[in-house]
Amino acid sequence: MMRSLQSIPRSWLYVILIVLLAWPLIKPIGIKLDISDETRRCYEAIESLEPGSVVVFGFDYSAGNKAEMEPQALAVLRHLLRRNVKVIGLAFVEQGPILGEQAFQKTGWTEKQYGVDYINLGYRAGGQGTVAAFANDIPGTFNTDISGKPSTSFPIMEGIKTAADIDLIVTIAPGTPGPEDYVRQVFSSYQTPLVCGVPAVAITQVAPYVQAKQIKGILGGSPAAAQYELLIEQPGDAVAAMDAQSLAHLLIVAVIILRNIGYLAEKKASNNTANPSGRGTHS
Protein backbone atom coordinates (compact mmCIF):
# COMPACT_ATOMS: atom_id res chain seq x y z
CA MET A 1 0.00 0.00 0.00
CA MET A 2 2.69 2.46 1.11
CA ARG A 3 4.87 1.44 -1.83
CA SER A 4 2.04 2.30 -4.25
CA LEU A 5 1.96 5.87 -2.87
CA GLN A 6 5.47 6.26 -4.28
CA SER A 7 4.49 5.27 -7.78
CA ILE A 8 1.08 6.71 -8.59
CA PRO A 9 0.76 6.45 -12.40
CA ARG A 10 1.29 9.77 -14.13
CA SER A 11 -1.87 9.29 -16.20
CA TRP A 12 -4.02 9.08 -13.03
CA LEU A 13 -2.56 12.35 -11.78
CA TYR A 14 -3.25 14.02 -15.12
CA VAL A 15 -6.87 12.84 -15.20
CA ILE A 16 -7.46 14.08 -11.63
CA LEU A 17 -5.89 17.44 -12.57
CA ILE A 18 -8.10 17.83 -15.65
CA VAL A 19 -11.22 17.09 -13.59
CA LEU A 20 -10.18 19.51 -10.83
CA LEU A 21 -9.45 22.27 -13.37
CA ALA A 22 -12.60 21.76 -15.43
CA TRP A 23 -15.12 21.24 -12.62
CA PRO A 24 -14.95 24.74 -11.03
CA LEU A 25 -14.89 26.37 -14.47
CA ILE A 26 -18.21 24.65 -15.26
CA LYS A 27 -19.64 25.03 -11.75
CA PRO A 28 -17.86 27.80 -9.78
CA ILE A 29 -17.30 27.14 -6.07
CA GLY A 30 -16.78 30.78 -5.08
CA ILE A 31 -13.73 30.44 -2.82
CA LYS A 32 -13.27 33.73 -0.95
CA LEU A 33 -10.58 35.94 -2.41
CA ASP A 34 -8.56 38.28 -0.16
CA ILE A 35 -6.95 41.40 -1.63
CA SER A 36 -3.19 41.49 -1.08
CA ASP A 37 -1.29 44.65 -0.11
CA GLU A 38 0.68 44.49 -3.36
CA THR A 39 -2.44 44.51 -5.51
CA ARG A 40 -3.94 47.30 -3.43
CA ARG A 41 -0.76 49.39 -3.92
CA CYS A 42 -1.11 49.05 -7.72
CA TYR A 43 -4.77 50.00 -7.50
CA GLU A 44 -3.98 53.05 -5.38
CA ALA A 45 -1.21 54.18 -7.77
CA ILE A 46 -3.78 54.32 -10.57
CA GLU A 47 -6.56 55.64 -8.36
CA SER A 48 -4.35 58.61 -7.42
CA LEU A 49 -3.95 59.72 -11.06
CA GLU A 50 -5.61 63.00 -11.94
CA PRO A 51 -8.01 62.97 -14.95
CA GLY A 52 -6.02 63.82 -18.09
CA SER A 53 -2.80 62.27 -16.77
CA VAL A 54 -0.63 60.50 -19.34
CA VAL A 55 0.06 56.81 -18.76
CA VAL A 56 2.44 54.67 -20.83
CA PHE A 57 1.15 51.10 -21.05
CA GLY A 58 3.74 48.49 -22.04
CA PHE A 59 2.17 45.44 -23.67
CA ASP A 60 5.37 43.49 -23.11
CA TYR A 61 3.88 39.99 -23.23
CA SER A 62 3.30 37.48 -25.99
CA ALA A 63 0.66 34.93 -26.95
CA GLY A 64 2.38 32.23 -24.90
CA ASN A 65 1.91 34.16 -21.66
CA LYS A 66 -1.45 35.62 -22.63
CA ALA A 67 -3.44 33.36 -20.31
CA GLU A 68 -1.63 34.69 -17.24
CA MET A 69 -0.80 38.23 -18.34
CA GLU A 70 -3.84 39.41 -20.29
CA PRO A 71 -6.28 39.39 -17.33
CA GLN A 72 -3.88 41.78 -15.54
CA ALA A 73 -3.69 44.05 -18.60
CA LEU A 74 -7.47 44.08 -19.04
CA ALA A 75 -8.19 44.83 -15.38
CA VAL A 76 -5.70 47.72 -15.27
CA LEU A 77 -6.90 49.11 -18.63
CA ARG A 78 -10.52 49.05 -17.36
CA HIS A 79 -9.43 50.97 -14.27
CA LEU A 80 -7.51 53.49 -16.40
CA LEU A 81 -10.59 53.97 -18.59
CA ARG A 82 -12.62 54.80 -15.50
CA ARG A 83 -9.96 57.28 -14.31
CA ASN A 84 -10.33 59.22 -17.56
CA VAL A 85 -6.60 59.35 -18.26
CA LYS A 86 -4.73 59.21 -21.58
CA VAL A 87 -2.99 55.95 -22.48
CA ILE A 88 0.03 55.54 -24.76
CA GLY A 89 0.30 51.85 -25.60
CA LEU A 90 3.64 50.49 -26.79
CA ALA A 91 5.66 47.28 -26.78
CA PHE A 92 9.22 46.05 -26.51
CA VAL A 93 8.05 42.51 -27.36
CA GLU A 94 7.16 41.80 -31.01
CA GLN A 95 3.70 40.34 -30.35
CA GLY A 96 2.82 43.20 -28.01
CA PRO A 97 1.12 45.57 -30.51
CA ILE A 98 -1.49 43.07 -31.69
CA LEU A 99 -2.20 41.98 -28.11
CA GLY A 100 -2.45 45.67 -27.20
CA GLU A 101 -5.02 46.20 -29.96
CA GLN A 102 -7.05 43.26 -28.66
CA ALA A 103 -6.81 44.57 -25.09
CA PHE A 104 -7.97 48.07 -26.13
CA GLN A 105 -10.95 46.50 -27.92
CA LYS A 106 -11.91 44.21 -25.03
CA THR A 107 -11.82 46.99 -22.46
CA GLY A 108 -13.85 49.57 -24.38
CA TRP A 109 -10.98 51.95 -25.12
CA THR A 110 -11.81 51.79 -28.83
CA GLU A 111 -15.00 53.73 -28.08
CA LYS A 112 -12.78 56.64 -27.08
CA GLN A 113 -11.01 58.83 -29.62
CA TYR A 114 -7.86 57.26 -31.10
CA GLY A 115 -4.90 59.63 -31.06
CA VAL A 116 -6.57 61.87 -28.49
CA ASP A 117 -7.44 59.58 -25.57
CA TYR A 118 -5.27 56.59 -26.46
CA ILE A 119 -2.76 55.44 -29.04
CA ASN A 120 -0.88 52.27 -29.97
CA LEU A 121 2.72 53.08 -30.91
CA GLY A 122 3.60 49.51 -31.86
CA TYR A 123 6.85 47.63 -31.28
CA ARG A 124 10.50 48.60 -31.29
CA ALA A 125 13.29 46.01 -31.31
CA GLY A 126 16.44 46.22 -29.19
CA GLY A 127 15.50 45.25 -25.65
CA GLN A 128 16.97 47.24 -22.78
CA GLY A 129 18.84 49.64 -25.09
CA THR A 130 15.55 50.62 -26.70
CA VAL A 131 13.94 51.12 -23.28
CA ALA A 132 16.75 53.64 -22.58
CA ALA A 133 16.17 55.33 -25.94
CA PHE A 134 12.42 55.51 -25.19
CA ALA A 135 13.08 57.17 -21.83
CA ASN A 136 15.24 59.87 -23.44
CA ASP A 137 13.18 60.50 -26.55
CA ILE A 138 9.67 58.99 -26.78
CA PRO A 139 8.55 60.47 -30.15
CA GLY A 140 12.01 59.83 -31.61
CA THR A 141 12.04 56.17 -30.60
CA PHE A 142 8.39 55.54 -31.43
CA ASN A 143 8.23 57.88 -34.42
CA THR A 144 5.16 56.19 -35.91
CA ASP A 145 2.04 54.56 -34.50
CA ILE A 146 0.99 50.97 -35.30
CA SER A 147 -0.49 52.02 -38.65
CA GLY A 148 2.65 53.88 -39.70
CA LYS A 149 1.40 57.45 -39.20
CA PRO A 150 3.87 59.88 -37.56
CA SER A 151 3.31 59.71 -33.81
CA THR A 152 3.76 63.47 -33.42
CA SER A 153 0.73 64.07 -35.67
CA PHE A 154 -1.57 62.85 -32.86
CA PRO A 155 -2.79 65.32 -30.19
CA ILE A 156 -2.06 62.82 -27.37
CA MET A 157 1.68 63.16 -28.10
CA GLU A 158 1.71 66.95 -27.66
CA GLY A 159 4.21 67.92 -24.99
CA ILE A 160 5.54 64.35 -24.67
CA LYS A 161 9.28 64.26 -25.09
CA THR A 162 10.93 62.17 -22.38
CA ALA A 163 9.81 59.84 -19.59
CA ALA A 164 9.66 62.91 -17.33
CA ASP A 165 6.49 63.92 -19.19
CA ILE A 166 4.75 60.67 -18.24
CA ASP A 167 2.70 60.42 -15.03
CA LEU A 168 2.81 56.63 -14.70
CA ILE A 169 4.24 53.65 -16.56
CA VAL A 170 2.45 50.31 -16.45
CA THR A 171 4.24 47.31 -17.91
CA ILE A 172 2.75 43.85 -18.17
CA ALA A 173 5.85 41.79 -18.75
CA PRO A 174 6.67 38.15 -18.05
CA GLY A 175 10.37 38.49 -18.95
CA THR A 176 12.81 40.88 -20.54
CA PRO A 177 12.44 43.68 -21.46
CA GLY A 178 10.41 44.09 -18.32
CA PRO A 179 10.17 45.86 -14.97
CA GLU A 180 13.90 45.58 -14.22
CA ASP A 181 14.79 47.30 -17.50
CA TYR A 182 12.29 50.09 -16.81
CA VAL A 183 13.81 50.57 -13.34
CA ARG A 184 17.36 50.71 -14.69
CA GLN A 185 16.71 52.84 -17.75
CA VAL A 186 13.66 54.94 -16.86
CA PHE A 187 13.18 55.21 -13.11
CA SER A 188 16.88 55.72 -12.33
CA SER A 189 17.05 58.73 -14.67
CA TYR A 190 13.55 60.22 -14.54
CA GLN A 191 11.89 58.80 -11.38
CA THR A 192 8.71 58.12 -13.38
CA PRO A 193 6.35 56.05 -11.18
CA LEU A 194 6.16 52.45 -12.31
CA VAL A 195 3.60 49.69 -11.78
CA CYS A 196 4.12 46.23 -13.23
CA GLY A 197 2.38 42.95 -13.85
CA VAL A 198 4.48 39.78 -13.83
CA PRO A 199 3.78 36.05 -13.74
CA ALA A 200 3.56 34.43 -10.30
CA VAL A 201 7.02 32.86 -10.70
CA ALA A 202 8.65 36.26 -11.31
CA ILE A 203 7.35 38.00 -8.17
CA THR A 204 10.48 37.05 -6.23
CA GLN A 205 12.67 38.67 -8.88
CA VAL A 206 10.85 42.01 -8.82
CA ALA A 207 9.97 42.22 -5.10
CA PRO A 208 13.29 43.88 -4.08
CA TYR A 209 12.51 46.85 -6.36
CA VAL A 210 9.16 47.34 -4.61
CA GLN A 211 10.84 47.37 -1.20
CA ALA A 212 13.36 49.91 -2.57
CA LYS A 213 10.37 52.02 -3.71
CA GLN A 214 11.57 51.95 -7.33
CA ILE A 215 8.38 50.15 -8.34
CA LYS A 216 5.09 51.32 -6.81
CA GLY A 217 3.39 47.95 -6.95
CA ILE A 218 3.43 44.53 -8.59
CA LEU A 219 0.61 42.35 -9.81
CA GLY A 220 1.73 38.75 -9.52
CA GLY A 221 0.07 36.15 -11.73
CA SER A 222 -3.60 35.31 -12.05
CA PRO A 223 -4.44 35.79 -8.33
CA ALA A 224 -3.44 39.46 -8.53
CA ALA A 225 -5.50 39.90 -11.71
CA ALA A 226 -8.49 38.36 -9.93
CA GLN A 227 -7.99 40.63 -6.91
CA TYR A 228 -7.75 43.66 -9.21
CA GLU A 229 -10.98 42.66 -10.95
CA LEU A 230 -12.66 42.61 -7.53
CA LEU A 231 -11.18 45.99 -6.59
CA ILE A 232 -12.60 47.62 -9.72
CA GLU A 233 -15.85 45.65 -9.19
CA GLN A 234 -15.69 44.04 -12.63
CA PRO A 235 -15.15 40.30 -12.03
CA GLY A 236 -13.84 38.62 -15.18
CA ASP A 237 -11.83 35.64 -16.41
CA ALA A 238 -9.25 35.80 -13.61
CA VAL A 239 -11.85 35.58 -10.83
CA ALA A 240 -13.47 32.65 -12.67
CA ALA A 241 -10.11 30.85 -12.87
CA MET A 242 -9.27 31.21 -9.18
CA ASP A 243 -11.33 28.23 -7.99
CA ALA A 244 -9.59 26.02 -10.56
CA GLN A 245 -6.17 27.31 -9.50
CA SER A 246 -6.95 26.70 -5.82
CA LEU A 247 -7.96 23.09 -6.47
CA ALA A 248 -4.88 22.51 -8.66
CA HIS A 249 -2.60 23.85 -5.89
CA LEU A 250 -4.39 21.63 -3.36
CA LEU A 251 -3.85 18.61 -5.59
CA ILE A 252 -0.13 19.35 -5.89
CA VAL A 253 0.17 19.68 -2.09
CA ALA A 254 -1.81 16.45 -1.65
CA VAL A 255 0.41 14.41 -3.99
CA ILE A 256 3.54 15.80 -2.31
CA ILE A 257 2.21 14.72 1.10
CA LEU A 258 1.19 11.26 -0.21
CA ARG A 259 4.59 10.75 -1.83
CA ASN A 260 6.39 11.65 1.39
CA ILE A 261 4.15 9.43 3.54
CA GLY A 262 5.03 6.57 1.20
CA TYR A 263 8.74 7.43 1.29
CA LEU A 264 8.91 7.70 5.10
CA ALA A 265 6.92 4.48 5.61
CA GLU A 266 9.16 2.57 3.21
CA LYS A 267 12.29 3.99 4.84
CA LYS A 268 11.04 2.87 8.25
CA ALA A 269 10.20 -0.59 6.90
CA SER A 270 13.63 -1.00 5.29
CA ASN A 271 15.33 0.13 8.53
CA ASN A 272 13.32 -2.51 10.45
CA THR A 273 14.28 -5.20 7.91
CA ALA A 274 17.97 -4.29 8.13
CA ASN A 275 17.89 -4.19 11.92
CA PRO A 276 14.97 -6.40 13.12
CA SER A 277 16.09 -6.47 16.78
CA GLY A 278 15.97 -2.67 16.89
CA ARG A 279 19.43 -2.63 18.48
CA GLY A 280 22.12 -0.24 17.35
CA THR A 281 24.73 -1.38 14.86
CA HIS A 282 27.73 0.26 16.57
CA SER A 283 30.45 -2.17 17.50
Binder to other proteins among 22, 25, 252, 269 (CB under 8 A)? 252
Give the residue with the Cβ less far from other proteins, 41 or 82: 41
Q: Which of 39, 65, 151, 214 binds other proteins (CB under 8 A)?
A: 65
Q: Any contact of residue 263 with other proteins (CB under 8 A)? A: yes
- CB-CB contact of 234 with 77 (8 Å): no
The residue within the footprint of other proteins, chosen from 72, 107, 141, 214 (CB under 8 A), is 141
Q: Is 150 in the site for other proteins (CB under 8 A)?
A: no
Q: Which of 130, 131, 65, 78 is nearest to 104 (CA)?
A: 78
Q: Considering the complex, state which of residue 146 and residue 170 has its C-beta at the smaller distance from other proteins.
A: 146
Candidate residues 34, 50, 158, 233; the one interacting with other proteins per rule CB under 8 A: 34
Which CB sits closer to other proteins, 44 or 94? Answer: 94
Q: Taking CB under 8 A as the rule, does residue 72 contact other proteins?
A: no
Among 25, 208, 269, 270, the residue binding other proteins under the rule CB under 8 A is 208
Does 133 bind other proteins (CB under 8 A)? Our answer is: yes
Question: Under the criterion CB under 8 A, does residue 64 sit at the interface with other proteins?
Answer: yes
